[in-house]
Chains A and B, each alone.
Chain A
Amino acid sequence: MNIRENPWLLLPVLLAASLLVGGLALGMGEHWINPLSPGDDMASRIVWELRWPRILTAFAVGGLLALAGAWFQVLLGNPLAEPYVLGVAGSAAVGAISAMALFPDAAWVMSIGAFIGAWVGIAVVLAFAHLGTARLLLAGVVLAAFWGAVLMLLIALLPERGVVRAYAWMMGDLSNSLLPGWSLLLAWAVALACGLLLSLSLDKLLLGEKHAEALGVDVYRLRRQLLLLASAVTAIAVTAAGTIGFVGLVVPHLMRLLFGSLHRSVLIASAFGGGLLLIMADSAARMVIAPAELPVGVLTAMIGVPVFLWLLLRRTS
């Protein structure tokens, strides 16, 4: 049996890999803790109150980002698209940093600010949804630049202590998500299911809009659905963990190289693969300079980019 032809065969493999990586990540840290019998109270609390929710969050956020990346890539017909391509991360960051500037004492307002900011960004992008792909992409790039400028303005006005927190958020942080891990996992499952329902239409969209339409796809409706779905998923991921780059760009690519381009395989593999990559990156981020932590977004880039380049070279040779 061939995994490329039957993507459901991926599921048990990916589930097993997730349990293994999750279990290992639970135990890893400054001191190794066996997550099945954590021993004394302190270790038990570290595992169940700190690491377990964080691993769930990492898995769901990584999977959501990878799914959003896969969707944006086919929506924009451009394999270099990523979840933040239309400026959603920028508007979320503006929301988060403004909230922080207004209420510097409450950490959770950053999440609410990010969520509102992300949806403002989405609303602006949706106004351009009826335009063709090229102009939508152009609008997204210009909007991203605009949000970037607003962000720089905000940071210039912040006190020094705020600047440090702003940068930490912008580089991704899984340690204090306002959204509980189980709710993110639910969002992950719903997003994957929606994606799989659309997978055949998505495959046809790979042939271009005209060809997809000639094959019976209502392209206009599909574009709106995809834009909303991908943006909503990006908004949730950004709200939970700040901006984490490269997962959404690299993971769908890797999965296409490994399992072919049909979306049933790409979406299942990306949802799990993105999650696994982010768990591993976050575990490494906790340990490399322990007891201090690296920003996880830095590590995703450092792991993701070399792997991606290696696969690209291997594929073309």
Chain B
Amino acid sequence: MMQIQQLSLSRGDKRLFAELSMQAKAGEVVVILGPNGAGKSTLLLALAGLHAADSGDVRYHGTSMAACSKHELAQLIAWQGELPPTEFGLTVRQRLELAANATSATAADIDVALTHMQLQALAGRSLGALSSGERQRAEIAAVMVRDCPVLLLDEPTAHLDMRHQVDCLKLIRREARHGRLVFSVLHDLQHAAAVADTVVLLDGKGGICVGKALEMLTAERLAPVFGVSLQGSGRDLRPLYREYDEEA
């Protein structure tokens, strides 16, 4: 469904990585991991058509993204990024309506999305009156309401409490089961293990490694990239905090 062909990206003057090539299919969850500044968000932006690549190409269903209009991309891809500004007093429902407007979603779809993220009671509130976690839930609902075949999520569990983190991860799996392709940047290795079929690991020095989640989520692979001691693998992979106590 999606082919990334020799994609090279920079942010400002800094080259992030060169010649990433991979394929992903409908129903797959691809998790992007890597240290701060490695280019995870920039990669998502490039896949969304919101950041120009230095070279290379991204194809959806065989069509180059560069050949698509902004309008066509908005039908195909739902992107969730930083929280939008709140100065102008949009309400939660208006936020979802603007998202829904890019596709053919209806008022009923908006209600469903609000219910999923437990936002019904907040629907009429202005975004500026909400907590970061509540705003994040509104952003996730805004992605869901668009009903696009490709979802690009940039740290969707950021700001969320434990319950909504779990809900969010379930939602990612459910969307994949419904045949959508999901790319998600995540920082929590347990979250990654809970949803990932495939992992893209950016090491922050220009190196890229793509592989099956089970092979990628191991202490041997991740510890050197993040510079921490890890133990276990897959869903049990976690940092060794005790070691730091001893150092101190």
Binding site for B on A (CB under 8 A): 73-74, 77-79, 200, 203-204, 206-208, 210-211, 213-218, 256-257, 260-262
- For the complex, would chain B's binding face be called helix, strand, loop or mixed by DSSP majority? mixed
| Chain A residues whose C-beta falls within 8 Å of the C-beta of B88 in the assembled complex | 73-74, 79, 206, 256, 261
| Chain B residues whose C-beta falls within 8 Å of the C-beta of A262 in the assembled complex | 94
For B, the interface residue count at a CB cutoff of 8 angstroms equals 27
Q: Are A261 and B89 in contact (CB under 8 A)?
A: yes
Chain B positions 56 through 77: 1 when the CB is less than 8 Å from some CB of chain A, otherwise 0:
0000000000000011011101
| Chain A residues whose C-beta falls within 8 Å of the C-beta of B166 in the assembled complex | none
Q: How far in angstroms is the closest Cβ of chain A from B201?
A: 25
B74-99 with Cβ < 8 A to chain A: 74-75, 77-79, 81-82, 84-85, 87-91, 94-95, 98-99
Within the assembled complex, what's the spacing in Å between the Cα atoms of A213 and B91? 20
A221, closest chain B residue (CB)? B70
Q: How far in angstroms is the closest Cβ of chain B from A289?
A: 39
Q: Are B102 and A206 in contact (CB under 8 A)?
A: no
Q: Is the CB of B101 closer than 8 A to any CB of chain A?
A: yes
Q: Are B71 and A261 in contact (CB under 8 A)?
A: no
Q: Are B87 and A207 in contact (CB under 8 A)?
A: no
| Chain B residues whose C-beta falls within 8 Å of the C-beta of A73 in the assembled complex | 88
**3 closest A-B pairs (Cβ-Cβ)?**
A216-B74, A207-B84, A214-B79
Q: How far in angstroms is the closest Cβ of chain B from A78?
A: 7
Q: Is the CB of B48 closer than 8 A to any CB of chain A?
A: yes
Q: Are B70 and A256 in contact (CB under 8 A)?
A: no
| A215 in complex: contacting residue of B82, B87, B91, B99, CB < 8 Å | B99
Q: Are B50 and A210 in contact (CB under 8 A)?
A: yes
Q: Are B45 and A210 in contact (CB under 8 A)?
A: yes
B78, closest chain A residue (CB)? A214
Q: Are A216 and B73 in contact (CB under 8 A)?
A: yes
| Chain A residues whose C-beta falls within 8 Å of the C-beta of B98 in the assembled complex | 203-204, 207, 215
